[in-house]
Amino acid sequence: MKDFSKLKELLDNNHLWPSSYTFKFIIPQNSEQELRSILKLDIEIMTYEFKPSSKGNYLSLTFSHVFASSDGVIEIYKRVSTVKGLISI
Protein backbone atom coordinates (compact mmCIF):
# COMPACT_ATOMS: atom_id res chain seq x y z
CA MET A 1 0.00 0.00 0.00
CA LYS A 2 1.15 3.50 -0.80
CA ASP A 3 2.65 5.61 2.00
CA PHE A 4 0.53 8.70 2.59
CA SER A 5 2.64 10.22 5.39
CA LYS A 6 4.02 13.04 3.22
CA LEU A 7 0.55 13.90 1.94
CA LYS A 8 -0.78 13.91 5.52
CA GLU A 9 2.02 16.27 6.55
CA LEU A 10 1.31 18.62 3.60
CA LEU A 11 -2.41 18.63 4.28
CA ASP A 12 -1.95 19.31 7.98
CA ASN A 13 0.52 22.11 7.31
CA ASN A 14 -1.73 23.83 4.75
CA HIS A 15 -5.27 23.37 6.09
CA LEU A 16 -7.09 24.20 9.29
CA TRP A 17 -9.47 21.31 9.96
CA PRO A 18 -12.36 21.03 9.45
CA SER A 19 -11.79 22.24 5.91
CA SER A 20 -13.14 21.86 2.40
CA TYR A 21 -10.90 19.88 0.04
CA THR A 22 -11.31 19.62 -3.75
CA PHE A 23 -10.39 16.47 -5.65
CA LYS A 24 -9.90 16.13 -9.39
CA PHE A 25 -9.53 12.73 -11.04
CA ILE A 26 -9.33 11.63 -14.65
CA ILE A 27 -10.60 8.15 -15.44
CA PRO A 28 -11.26 6.02 -18.51
CA GLN A 29 -14.89 6.40 -19.65
CA ASN A 30 -15.69 2.80 -18.74
CA SER A 31 -14.67 3.33 -15.08
CA GLU A 32 -17.42 5.82 -14.19
CA GLN A 33 -19.71 3.33 -12.44
CA GLU A 34 -16.82 1.81 -10.50
CA LEU A 35 -15.75 5.24 -9.25
CA ARG A 36 -19.34 6.23 -8.42
CA SER A 37 -19.71 3.04 -6.42
CA ILE A 38 -16.45 3.53 -4.52
CA LEU A 39 -17.25 7.15 -3.68
CA LYS A 40 -21.00 6.56 -3.23
CA LEU A 41 -21.65 9.64 -5.37
CA ASP A 42 -25.39 9.07 -5.61
CA ILE A 43 -25.88 10.27 -2.04
CA GLU A 44 -26.12 13.99 -1.44
CA ILE A 45 -23.03 14.42 0.72
CA MET A 46 -20.80 15.76 -2.03
CA THR A 47 -21.25 18.15 -4.93
CA TYR A 48 -19.55 16.66 -7.95
CA GLU A 49 -19.23 17.11 -11.69
CA PHE A 50 -18.23 14.65 -14.41
CA LYS A 51 -17.01 16.10 -17.71
CA PRO A 52 -16.16 14.00 -20.76
CA SER A 53 -12.94 14.57 -22.68
CA SER A 54 -13.17 16.02 -26.19
CA LYS A 55 -12.99 12.53 -27.78
CA GLY A 56 -15.13 10.94 -25.07
CA ASN A 57 -12.52 8.40 -24.01
CA TYR A 58 -12.02 9.86 -20.53
CA LEU A 59 -14.00 11.62 -17.84
CA SER A 60 -12.81 14.17 -15.35
CA LEU A 61 -14.41 14.19 -11.94
CA THR A 62 -14.20 17.23 -9.70
CA PHE A 63 -15.74 17.30 -6.25
CA SER A 64 -15.34 19.07 -2.95
CA HIS A 65 -16.23 17.97 0.54
CA VAL A 66 -15.66 19.24 4.06
CA PHE A 67 -13.45 16.91 6.05
CA ALA A 68 -12.84 16.90 9.80
CA SER A 69 -9.16 16.04 9.31
CA SER A 70 -6.56 15.06 6.75
CA ASP A 71 -7.43 11.42 7.46
CA GLY A 72 -10.71 11.84 5.56
CA VAL A 73 -8.90 13.18 2.49
CA ILE A 74 -6.39 10.34 2.59
CA GLU A 75 -9.19 7.80 2.93
CA ILE A 76 -10.65 9.01 -0.39
CA TYR A 77 -7.27 8.66 -2.11
CA LYS A 78 -6.91 5.14 -0.71
CA ARG A 79 -10.39 4.13 -1.86
CA VAL A 80 -9.95 5.38 -5.44
CA SER A 81 -6.46 3.89 -5.81
CA THR A 82 -8.07 0.62 -6.93
CA VAL A 83 -9.55 2.19 -10.10
CA LYS A 84 -7.45 1.13 -13.08
CA GLY A 85 -6.21 4.08 -15.15
CA LEU A 86 -7.18 6.74 -12.59
CA ILE A 87 -5.05 9.91 -12.58
CA SER A 88 -5.17 12.25 -9.58
CA ILE A 89 -4.62 15.91 -10.33
- Model confidence pLDDT, tens digit, residues 58-69: 999 998 888 999
Provide the 3-class DSSP secondary structure of residue 88. strand
Q: Which domain holds residue 65?
A: 5-88
Classify residue 2 by its DSSP letter: -
pLDDT at 87 over 60: yes
What's this model's pTM, rounded to 2 decimal places? 0.85
**70-80 vs 32-39: helix crossing angle, rounded to 10:** 150
Q: For residue 1, is pLDDT > 90?
A: no
Domain with residue 27: its CATH number is: 3.30.70.260
Q: Is the pLDDT of residue 78 over 90?
A: yes
Domains contained in the chain, number:
1
The pLDDT score that the predictor gives to residue 82 is 92
pLDDT in tens, 6-60: 999 999 999 999 999 999 999 999 999 999 888 886 555 567 888 999 999 999 9
Instruction: Please give the DSSP secondary-structure letter assigned to residue 87.
Output: E
